[in-house]
Chain A
């Protein structure tokens, strides 16, 4: 099958992936300021979209990890073929949509890594993956980043509550406008990068670019735009669902958590660590929930969500692996893969329109993980 066709397919699917990434991550930054009233929904969503766009242009470290680090580039060039990258993307998108449909909070980023790894391993053997990069720039940060964010958020929350008196805390709302903006910016610097990395990888694999080079300008622009559009479209769903679910989060907590999230993401991006913004945001939220006096953690819920996270890389790897096996049968296999993938995507999309209950977002909110301090008793007594 003509390489150009595969490359075009990969670019198209990658941009779709980027779009869906923006779509379900808007909430990470904007749900809390909308909930506390710091920002009007339309403004929040518009702001998030613009900042993601800007953020995407700011740094290319993460893209380089994906395009040059993870998959080994052997003496004859990259050992992964464009077809395998296509399979990896299919694995990622399909798994991502399945978890979205089931309302499971999961990381788009991990789905992407899992997909690429699964396809590479099936198609080119274990040797094609650089273990060192996998561990140091993906796996360890995956665990360390949410913990860091949680600890930092916890401390920041304590400080915020210690230093201010009750009546002053409402003004944290104004601060939230800035911290949420920073989270969106940080998100753009980390997440749009991953798609750029994949597109660059396929261009290198197809020989259109030299090994070890960074993303081209058109790639950066296209990915930035895709994520911004996804962010903007995802916003409308938040507005519909927000009323029900956000529980006890005070502006001071939002401020602290968002500061922690931004700091962790930006520091990691700078070093080329590709991490899951959803998981970092969740870590911050748990940290801030605990930071407020008297809170306890709902370990069972946290546990369920943790399991969801753990299975993402293997699950998307399996889907991608299967796609790679099918693709290995020849051009017919590739066609089958693409057709089935598109059918699944369309099917999931149509199914979701039917069940309106599927508006849950994977937005990590304190209510999910943490029982806040009980106040009602005091009022009654």
Chain B
């Protein structure tokens, strides 16, 4: 019985990195959005965008049809 242990490590690693990335980005965006200093606003918006892109990228990776997988 051959078990692909590497696959499990992959799942944990990917889930960990992606979820924490999304949460950190979003949380930072929230934190920065709260301030009054002028530089904060655009950075906050940019972070929201990064968050959305990361999520879309994740979905893209899942769809075999989109990248000829």
Contacts and interface: CB of A to CB of B under 8 A. Distances in A.
Interface of A: 58-60, 131-132, 135-136, 140-141, 144-145, 148-149, 151-153, 155-156, 159-160, 163-165, 167-169, 171-172, 175, 178, 182, 185, 189, 255-256, 259-260, 262-264, 266-271, 273
Given A159-B24, A171-B30, 7 more contacts: A60-B64, A140-B8, A141-B8, A149-B15, A159-B20, A163-B31, A264-B11
A155 B17 CA distance: 11
Contacts of A169: 30
A172 B19 contact: no
27 contacts: A58-B65, A59-B62, A132-B1, A136-B3, A136-B4, A136-B7, A148-B16, A152-B15, A155-B16, A159-B27, A164-B27, A165-B31, A168-B31, A168-B33, A171-B33, A172-B30, A182-B55, A185-B59, A259-B23, A263-B15, A263-B18, A267-B14, A269-B62, A270-B61, A271-B10, A271-B11, A273-B7
Contact of B3 (A132, A152, A156, A163): A132
B11 A189 contact: no
Contact of A260 (B19, B31, B65): B19
Nearest to B24: A159
Contact of A267 (B11, B31, B59): B11
A308 B19 CA distance: 28
Contacts of A164: 27, 30-31
Interface of B: 1-4, 7-8, 10-12, 14-16, 18-20, 22-24, 26-28, 30-31, 33-34, 52, 55, 58-59, 61-65
A273 B2 CA distance: 15
Most buried by A among B3, B23, B58, B65: B23
A269 B24 CA distance: 24
Contacts of B23: 156, 159-160, 255-256, 259
A135 B14 CA distance: 21
Given A168-B31, A263-B15, A156 B62 contact: no
B60 to A, nearest CB: 10
Contacts of A140: 3, 8
Contacts of B64: 59-60
Contacts of A132: 1-3
Given A132-B3, A135-B3, A160-B27, A268 B19 contact: no
Q: Helix, strand, loop or mixed for chain B's interface?
A: helix
Nearest to A145: B11
Q: Helix, strand, loop or mixed for chain A's interface?
A: helix
A145 B52 CA distance: 25
B25 to A, nearest CB: 10
A324 B31 CA distance: 59
A53 to B, nearest CB: 15
B11 A268 contact: yes
A163 B14 CA distance: 22
Contacts of B22: 259, 263
A168 B34 contact: yes
A234 B67 CA distance: 34
Contacts of B3: 132, 135-136, 140
A259 B55 CA distance: 10
Q: Which 5 A-B pairs have the closest CB atoms?
A: A163-B27, A263-B19, A263-B15, A132-B1, A156-B23
Contact of A271 (B7, B34, B52): B7
B55 A267 contact: no
Contact of B11 (A148, A159, A163, A256): A148
A153 B31 CA distance: 20
